[in-house]
Structure 1
């Protein structure tokens, strides 16, 4: 079974993950923050597992414990966790997931396309949001990431889902009539246009 067939066959129980970094201005000067996210592949649902400037083995071990919490861990119901060979995926990190019966699948070195869904999200959030902003605190970074993820879930069409929106916050209207309404986030950096349902007036 090739990798594409494997992904299609196990998408409902698979999560993919990746990091990206963002430079943030603080009282200490320019500080590099790491954003670690996990995507539920079948739903294209992204959750941030960690944002911080301190990322090491101990931090990642705690992140792994949070992700595998039996009540509300984001890997609950997952069987496979796909990531690259970043050293932050330590032996302890991988063992915690394995003990939770989640198999860790690490892509081949130099083959980012094997984790294409995660790589695509990183490219999108940087291109559409992060690269257009200057951050002066961790709070501002968290707000931007949170707003983009809401946009990604509720307002952005996904080609891999037949151009549908995963979790639309308004009904998707396919008619050619009705008022076009614009919604925006982050001061207009993220825009969403949708057609409102045309009201049908009851006959007296």
Structure 2
């Protein structure tokens, strides 16, 4: 405990518990001379300068703030500035909150063509060892077809775009992607990639997961039937069971929301209808 904190604690004991200064100093281990000492230093100018700079640059540390003061011609040395810096508790790590832009509520519409809109989301779980892993799930909103479940211990925005490029190679490009406000989707890299690809991004409102209801409903099934149903010892087992289940989900499992068709059957019917319409026109 620093001398300043020690003196504050001693003063609180004296005022709050009506204890003598001698008794309070014995409890905190402080000398009475230090308790009665009153500094003649005037740090008001340093405090004002640091407050002004830190309010303007809240993420800067001591070295950067001191460099600003020196550039402004302030005469104080680094020891004095650092003493006041600690006195103001500026040496404590400050974590700023990221402000999200306003998100408008969008209806969860039923599309009539594949690749109009994809929904994406992350899930997390743990192996038997306790090590955490994540899954990156991608779904076509029209056919409810699961296009990919990427599984890894860490999935960055770079891996997200790389996975999407692999899907686009065999599936084609979506017009729009619906996502939440996770850091992977709000990253500068992801937004630039979507802009280069000509893909619109539809963000749901924070705290409103059911605005991404198609993928959320799938996540519930995936967790119930795979992640919560088996004890996995490595990622290879997770990928193996997931791939088998995903093939069953897409190709054999009837979907009530699709008139008891499978996602693959609906996707095939839509493609055939589109070909017929092209021939007619």
- TM-score, structure 1 normalization: 0.70
Q: Secondary structure at the match of 2:130?
A: strand
Paired with 1:71 and 1:120, the residues of 2 have a C-alpha distance of 24
Q: Secondary structure at the match of 2:127?
A: strand
The yes-or-no answer on 1:18 pairing with 2:121 is yes
Root-mean-square deviation over aligned CA pairs: 2.3
With 127-136 and 65-74 compared, the bigger mean Cα shift is at 65-74
Paired with 2:240 and 2:124, the residues of 1 have a C-alpha distance of 15
Segments of 5+ residues of structure 1 without an aligned counterpart are 169-204
**Pair 86,61 (structure 1): closer, same or farther in 2 beyond 3 Å:** same
Paired with 2:246 and 2:218, the residues of 1 have a C-alpha distance of 10
How far has the Cα of 1:11 moved from its partner? 5.5
**Pair 108,37 (structure 1): closer, same or farther in 2 beyond 3 Å:** same
Q: 1:116 is matched with which residue?
A: 213
Segments of 5+ residues of structure 2 without an aligned counterpart are 1-104, 266-281
**Pair 45,71 (structure 1): closer, same or farther in 2 beyond 3 Å:** closer
Q: 1:167 is matched with which residue?
A: 264
Contact 1:17-1:37 within 8 A present in 2 as well: yes
* Stretches (4+) displaced over 4 A: none
How far has the Cα of 1:78 moved from its partner? 0.7
Paired with 1:139 and 1:84, the residues of 2 have a C-alpha distance of 28
Q: Secondary structure at the match of 2:161?
A: helix
Paired with 1:10 and 1:157, the residues of 2 have a C-alpha distance of 18
How far has the Cα of 1:47 moved from its partner? 2.3
- TM-score, structure 2 normalization: 0.52
Greater helix content: 2
Q: 2:191 is matched with which residue?
A: 94
Q: 1:84 is matched with which residue?
A: 180
Paired with 2:166 and 2:195, the residues of 1 have a C-alpha distance of 13
